[in-house]
Amino acid sequence: MPVTVRRPLLPAVLSGLLLALSFPGGPGLWPLLAVALVPLLLAVRGGSRGRAFRAGLVTGMVHFLILLYWIVIVLGHYGGLPWYLSVLALCLLALYMALYVGLFALGARMLVDTLPPSAVLWLVPAVWVGLDWLRGWLFSGFPWMDLGYALWGQPALIQVADLLGHHGVTFLLVLINALLALSLNAGPGAGGRGRLLLAAPVVLVIAVVAVYSAVRWHQVGRQMAASDRMPIGIVQGNIDQDLKWSPENQGKTVATYIDQTASLFAGGDGTRRPTLVVWPETALPFYPANSMFVEDLQRMNSRFDMALLTGAPWYEVVDQAKKKYNYFNSALLIAPTGEFIDRYSKSHLVPFGEYVPLKPLLPFLAPLVESVGDFSPGVIGRPLAWRQGRIGVLVCFESIFPAIARQWVRNGANVLVNLTNDAWYGKSSAPHHSLAMTVFRSVETRRSLVRAANTGISGFIDPLGRVVRRSGLFEPWAAAEDVVLMDGESLWVRGGHLFAPLCAGAALAAIGWSVAGRRREYV
């Protein structure tokens, strides 16, 4: 008997809660993703299309209000907004994100209306992935914690990401949900044979993905064993965000980082002395070009014969007479001689964090960027080179955009480094989300990723997506590892990144055909 849902509110809420329970930073019950969307998909069958959209909207609101609660911490505690404006911003952002889930439910309803189950089965996941891709691009993009990211801690299950990216993992999860929902909704005429015919190709695809993952696990492992390695150190300063930018604390901040860096050269842990040490985003809370503390860095580099890659603000003079400058959130590479040998400036800035879109129309949000400067975007060029390392730098939330990591690899990077300052998130789920998304950049590109955060989570991720070593939150930490340097381009880098936009195109075409077909019925 098909399942009939007369009141979609409870199933919609249930789907939202199951999604929220699946993600890291909370319970992290990732197996729930295999069934989380089933209540919603059951609820959209029958009734009006408007009802389906509203059900999706409810699911999205429940999920994203829980997932993104840390926005209140960022805007309220660190951004200086009153609590009611912070909560309002959370609700507006959750509503925006929920619109995509509403559109997914509407799209699924339209497909169910006009297409056979065998087509719906594959198009429903395409709708979800296509909307994820759109959300990651529209209005500069906010691809925060797509479904596939919840499997970050199961590296053996996500190796297909080097073929189809994290969107491929999401597609498989939604595919399982669609199969279960269609099986429950199959009419009495379907019988066991009909369900078997529906399930067989899904089981086959999952089996093929499992075999592919196992084969790639061993192949990449052998490539890692044969690859060059470079000893790299990470220092997590754990500098209080409320004190970081005060002038009287700048010397203390630099001394803290220098002392922790020195601990990496004390020996005793069996690790080679690092030839490169990485400090986090804006570890230097001043403009290095004209600071007296740069001499301390130069002495440190010379003493330990190391290069330093550190985050720091930077500026360029546009018009000295008019006192016009461009400011950048940068990563600086400093040689053992103390020379500034290379720099990358963050190319994808945080809206309302590092700049205010449509600033003249939104003057009340200007305080959000006053403490860090109103930055200009940089450009992704050649990787930063040191010894045998060709470094692609991801500053802060650039790590959540697959295209940026891909561009670095296309430009020749053999290792990725993520400099971030997650102190803005407090002790919330957001740092765990940020780490989870970063893991997929390693698998997609088959590159090691070195992550240096001000307060955590710092660590080393290998090209299989395994977190080799990691810090805790809000603790000083320093560690070094021999980091694998991989060359070559994964299939995802070469062309697999097109999987998500192809899903969007297929879903749009199918829905368009569905709408046109219904119109012809009434002519």
Determine if residue 23 is left, alpha or beta; phi over 0 gives left, psi from -120 to 50 gives alpha, anything else beta: beta
Q: Is 129 exposed, middle or buried (0-12, 13-18, 19+ CB in 10 A)?
A: buried
Which of 244, 281, 398, 481 is catalytic? The answer is: 281
Q: Is 476 exposed, middle or buried (0-12, 13-18, 19+ CB in 10 A)?
A: middle
356-385 burial, b at 16+ Cβ within 10 Å, e below that, comes to: beeeeeeeebeebbeebbebbebebeebbe
Tell me how far apart the 2 most distant CA atoms of the chain are, in Å.
Answer: 83
244 is catalytic: no
Number of H helices, E strands in the chain: 16, 12
Measured between alpha carbons, how far apart are the two ends of the chain, in Å? 34
Question: From CA 480, how far away is CA 232, in angstroms rounded?
Answer: 5
Which of 248, 252, 324, 346 is catalytic? The answer is: 346
Amino acid at residue number 389: G
> What are the residues whose beta carbons fall under 8 Å from the beta carbon of 102, sequence distance 6 or more?
53, 54, 55, 56, 57, 60
444 is catalytic: no
Which of 396, 398, 444, 503 is catalytic? The answer is: 396
**Of 309, 307, 258, 311, the residue nearest 284 (C-alpha):** 311
322 is catalytic: no
Angle at 239 between CA 264 and CA 378, to 5 degrees: 90
Catalytic residues, by residue number, are 281, 346, 396
